[in-house]
Structure 1
């Protein structure tokens, strides 16, 4: 991802927030057979305060990626969307795409079976927790044998990134009044490109910019 100083994200707390709120990631490996990409959910490692993530892949994706043997790239895609030139006013303009993205690179550590079970349990709790009647991993009708057989079909990993590239391209190069108009259009819901999550990211970024000015 090409970096631009105007759009760079470096604040660790903000990076952790983006990862936590967007856990469905793309994992990319450069293998002897060529580039390989897979899609899985990850979580921040609760024992760390940095950008370490934990997750799993299903077998045989571990072999396809050469997991644990070489560097992987994990792409975290935050809110993103089309920005119409009609939202800029009457002057000459072209469309663009606003987005938030974090790239994590490093060699992952393979987890033990028990560590992997703990990660799988946390993943289930994370996403089942908001359900009216959550189905926890260890609760009936699942039993211990079923859960452990399930674990054997997966490979858990922990990635402490050695390279991080993060970008927040959210109309930082536009005047305040144009930014406010874009946020209103994204919030309004009266176009096919309305996206309140992207509006919230823009609001968050520009509130920080405005606070730094004053």
Structure 2
């Protein structure tokens, strides 16, 4: 991913927090020599050595699963908030732009066992049921229902490199108050999230 220097995010702790909060990603590999992408939860985790990894699963019927070569190279894309930035919000004439946060992770994929898939599913469900009014648990589900795990292929990804772009009008610091105000006035959840990020990182 092309990242101008002033938009590059290198603080690993902040990137990891972003991944935890924005874990619905895009898994990309090669299928029949063409890029193939699947939109799925891809969770940040650690392996038995305490090293950061990504963990996820896809349907066994998905053709992408047939091209999961152990130690094969993959790309995972995680998108955060984004918003159009009108140049009418600037003090001086300039073209409009777009602010956004995105993280790309390159790594090696390894297929995991059914037991490891089930362990990752327990973590996944517990994470997202935490704030439910009536949280469910896989522990309470029947053996028959949980047999659906046989219909998925689980994987872990060892991380080779991380690229993070936080494009937040860093080159227009003098216009930040106006941009933030206008973003908040839109009442758009994504625009307001970008405004909050600009406040945090300015």
Deviations 1:71-130 (A, max 9, x none): 1100011111111111113x2121101011110111112111111101111111111211
- Does residue 151 (structure 1) correspond to residue 165 (structure 2)? The answer is no
Matches within 5 A, 1:73-112: 73-89=75-91, 91-112=92-113
| C-alpha distance in 2 between matches for 1:144 and 1:187 | 48
| C-alpha distance in 2 between matches for 1:145 and 1:193 | 40
Is the 1:104–1:164 Cα contact (8 Å) retained in structure 2? Answer: yes
Is the 2:31–2:63 Cα contact (8 Å) retained in structure 1? Answer: no
Is the 1:108–1:159 Cα contact (8 Å) retained in structure 2? Answer: yes
- TM-score normalised by L of structure 1: 0.85
Relative to 1, partners in 2 of residues 1:62 and 1:14: Cα closer, same or farther, differing over 3 Å? Answer: farther
Relative to 1, partners in 2 of residues 1:202 and 1:65: Cα closer, same or farther, differing over 3 Å? Answer: farther
Is the 2:31–2:64 Cα contact (8 Å) retained in structure 1? Answer: no
- Does residue 201 (structure 1) correspond to residue 194 (structure 2)? The answer is no
| C-alpha distance in 2 between matches for 1:130 and 1:195 | 24
Gaps of 5+ in 1: 207-214
Corresponding residue for residue 209 of structure 1 = none
- Aligned pairs, how many? 200
Q: Supply the RMSD in Å over aligned alpha carbons.
A: 2.0
Corresponding residue for residue 123 of structure 1 = 124
- TM-score normalised by L of structure 2: 0.90
More strand by proportion, 1 or 2?
2
Is the 2:8–2:164 Cα contact (8 Å) retained in structure 1? Answer: yes
Shift of 1:63: 4.4
Is the 1:188–1:194 Cα contact (8 Å) retained in structure 2? Answer: no
Q: Match of 1:198, SS? A: helix
Is the 1:55–1:157 Cα contact (8 Å) retained in structure 2? Answer: yes
Shift of 1:152: 0.7
Corresponding residue for residue 210 of structure 1 = none
| C-alpha distance in 1 between matches for 2:190 and 2:43 | 28
Is the 1:12–1:51 Cα contact (8 Å) retained in structure 2? Answer: no
Shift of 1:62: 6.3
Is the 2:82–2:190 Cα contact (8 Å) retained in structure 1? Answer: no
Is the 1:99–1:169 Cα contact (8 Å) retained in structure 2? Answer: yes
Shift of 1:175: 2.4
Is the 1:25–1:41 Cα contact (8 Å) retained in structure 2? Answer: yes
| C-alpha distance in 1 between matches for 2:44 and 2:162 | 15
Shift of 1:57: 1.1
